[in-house]
Every structure is written in C-alpha cells, then in structure tokens.
Amino acid sequence: MKSNTLDYSKQSHFLTLSLLTLSFDNGKVVKEIGGFMLLEIKGINKSFSGKQILHDVSFTVTSGKAMGFLGRNGAGKTTTIRTLMDVFKADSGVFLLDGKPFEPTQYSVGYLPEERGLYGKEKILDQLIYFATLRGASHKEAKTSAEYWIERFGLSYAKNHKLETLSKGNQQKIQIAQTLLNDPEIVILDEPFSGLDPVNSQILKEVIIELIEKGKLVIFSSHQMNYVEEFCDEITLIDKGKVVLSGNLKQIKSDIGRQRLRLTSSNYNNGSLKQFLSTHVKGIEISEDKHSLIIECLNGKSKHELLEDIVKHNIEIELFSGYEPSLNDIFVSKVGDDHA
C-alpha cells in the first residue's frame, strides 16, 4: 500500500486537525517564519452551550524559550490550545504572531494533542510520510523527515510495523515524531512524556532542548512539574478558565520567596519550633515542608528583626536561609484544593 493513498477519509475533522500540523494549503506551506517570534494570546473568551469556559485568557510566548502552560484537569488548557489552533472559534479576543493575526493553516506548526490518534493498523513509516506530504513536503522530503525521527527515537527496526504492534511508550514516540515532521517553527506539546520510561524521557529531553536552542517557539503542557521546571523559562498558570499567574519562572520564584525563609533548630524539632514561634513571635506566618519550617514575614517585619526574635528566645539556629519555592509549591498554592 502506498503511503500517499492511505484511506483516512473516515476519520473525524477534529482528529485530522489535531494530528496534522495545520500548516498546509493545497499541499504547500503558505508562510515560512524566520528569526524572533512573538505569539500573543489576548483576551480570549470561549463558551459552550451558554457556559463560559475561558475568561479573558491572555499571555505571550517568545521563540527560543519554552513556555509551560499549566493547570488542573478541566482548567481550560486544552480549550485554549484548540482555540489557538482554530479547532474551536473564540467568542472574542485575538491571537497575534509578530503583531499580525495568527492563522495556524498559514504557518508551520507541530501539535501533539493530549488525545492521541494515529492509525494503529497502518505502517509507521507510511503514515508519517503521508502526514509530512500533507504539510507540503515532497515524497522524498517526507520520507527523509520520517526516517530521521524514527531513527532518532530508536525505532528504525519497526518502521514497517503497524503502529498497534508497538508498546504504549513506543507509540508515544511515534506520536511525537509526527509532531516534529518537516521541522516546524512552532511546537505545541501536550503531556509529551506520558508513557515514556526514563531512557526515552532522556531522549525527548534532548530533543526539546534542541528545539529551544534552534529558536523554535515551544508551548509545553505537563502535569510533571520537574520537566516544566527543567525546560521552561516562562510559565502561565490557568485555573477555572482564568490566568492566575504568568511570567518568568525565575522571577516568580524570587517574588514569592522574597519575604520568606527556611528555619530549623538544633534544640527544637519542627513541630515544637512551629508551636513556640506561633506563640512568642508576632508578625509571621508559618508553614512547613519535609525539610524545614517556612516563615513569611508580615506587615513590614524584616528578616533581621525575625532573626533578633529567634536569638532572644534562645533558639539554636541550625538553618536560616532564603526560601525559593518549587514549581509544584507554586502550583499547589495557586490552584490547590483551597482554590478549587
């Protein structure tokens, strides 16, 4: 069976849109992007059956960096991405690329959706070639791109196998390979590490780092905070369809940690120390994790004043240092159960 004659006509419109890069027009890419890119999502609203799902969603993404798009299940991440990709029409708001209206069919975009949907009963190489040609590549270019990514993910031995014969993790690698066909300039990855073991996760890490170094515009969504923290310079956190936090991750950590510090004592365990400080020291709020107490200075109280209070009460200091929250800490504090 030839790759350019595969029968995909019975697949849904959404499946085709979500799995292709939406970057073809009668077989030819219309616009090519070069240099710095700025994607602006401005005031996006979206409702279904009278229920508003997105509320004035706004954030920016720049090329050469990865932007982590985070939120709980049902927060609005997928709806935002599908609206960006024109699978859904926004009720209001605009998407701009370098100041001009963004039409995904006019650009080279690689999209890995949360729902996977390649064709289990078709050969891997055949369907990757098919998708690459739909995005404007010649058959020769499509074959070269498909074989490159199949080899890069260590699956050359299986290129003529049906997708359904592969393990879940290897099927995920083919899904990712589909996303990266024809070297897209904009890459959107929704839970790309799902199903990957540590070895294959490392391969994908290297690929993502290369995309960033090449100046690609990368949007990265994952519930695995360690990966987001590792790759993403910028984050946008969405909750109940509203953006609750957006900006440079390093700066966000600095801002949140500025009036907080870690404290442990050699003559009190953490529980006893927390109880003592709560009773004897004013102007602080105390929480803790498995490492130490986390103390926030309130109402203008300085860290120096706090240190004086601690010494005055004969607390033997074991640790007194600045506090930098993890991305997981930030996520839980902004959209945890207390905010649900």
The answer to the question of residue 203 being in a domain is yes
Q: Is residue 77 classed exposed, middle or buried when 0-12, 13-18 and 19+ CB atoms within 10 A define those classes? A: buried
Q: What is the pLDDT of residue 186?
A: 95
Residue ending a domain, among 247, 272, 297, is 247
Mean pLDDT of all residues in 58-62: 97
Question: In terms of domains, do 168 and 311 share one?
Answer: no
Q: Are residues 238 and 269 in the same domain?
A: no
Instruction: Indicate whether 183 belongs to any domain.
Output: yes
Domain count across the chain: 2
Q: Cα dist. 130→123, 184, 263, 269, 299 in Å?
A: 11, 16, 59, 63, 63
Considering the domain architecture, whether residues 34 and 58 belong to the same structural domain is answered as yes
Q: Is residue 170 one of the residues assigned to a domain? A: yes
Region 117-126 average pLDDT: 92
| CA nearest neighbour of 78 among 88, 63, 92 | 88
- Do both 214 and 328 map to the same domain? no
Same domain, residue pair 312 and 196:
no
Answer with the one of 247, 268, 298 that is the final residue of a domain.
Answer: 247
Element (H, E) at 42: strand 38-48
Within a domain: 253: no
* Contact in structure between 37 and 217 (CB atoms under 8 Å): yes
Tell me the pLDDT band of 337, cut-offs 50, 70 and 90: low
Confidence at residue 239, expressed as pLDDT on a 0 to 100 scale: 95
Task: State the pTM of this model.
Answer: 0.82
210 and 148, same domain (yes or no): yes
Residues 203 and 284 in one domain: no
CA 320 to chain CA centroid, Å, is 34
In a domain, 252, yes or no: no
Residue that is last in its domain, among 247, 272, 295 = 247
Same-domain status, 218 and 317: no
Counting Cβ atoms within 10 Å, is residue 47 exposed (0-12), middle (13-18) or buried (19+)? Answer: middle
Asked if 166 and 144 count as a contact pair (C-beta separation under 8 A), the reply is no
**Does residue 97 belong to any structural domain of this protein?**
yes
The reported pLDDT for the residue numbered 114 is 80
In angstroms, the CA 96 to CA 38 distance is 8
Domain shared by 78 and 213, yes or no:
yes
- Could you tell me if 312 and 171 lie in one domain? no
**Predicted confidence (pLDDT) per residue in 30-51, tens digit:** 455 557 899 999 999 999 999 9
**Percentage of the chain lying above the pLDDT 90 cut:** 74
Tell me the two tokens of residue 230: 């590792």
For residue 65, which phi and psi values (nearest 5 degrees)?
A: -140, 160
| 158 in the same domain as 45 | yes
Least trusted range by pLDDT, from 101-105, 114-118, 252-256 = 114-118
- The pLDDT of 132-155, averaged and rounded, is 95
Q: What is the pLDDT of residue 117?
A: 76
Q: What is the C-alpha separation between 178 and 132, in angstroms, rounded?
A: 8
Look up residue 62 and give its two tokens. 């720049």
The region of weakest confidence among 9-18, 125-134, 294-303 is 9-18
Q: List, in sequence order, every residue forming a beta bridge with 264; answer none if it has no partner.
A: 319
Provide the residue range defining the domain that includes 316.
Answer: 258-339
In this prediction, residue 6 carries a pLDDT of: 53
Q: Is residue 309 part of a domain?
A: yes
Residue 188 has pLDDT above 60, yes or no: yes
CA distances from 322 to 238, 262, 308, 325 (A): 28, 6, 16, 10
Asked if residue 307 has pLDDT above 50, the reply is yes
Q: Which residue has the higher pLDDT, 39 or 333?
A: 39
What pLDDT score does 64 carry? 94
Residues 6+ apart with CB under 8 A from 307: 320
Return the pLDDT at 26.
Answer: 38
- Residue 135 has a pLDDT of 87
Same domain membership, residue 240 and residue 316 = no
291 within a domain of the structure (yes/no): yes
Query: What's the CATH number where 304 sits?
Result: 3.30.70
Give the per-residue pLDDT at 5.
46
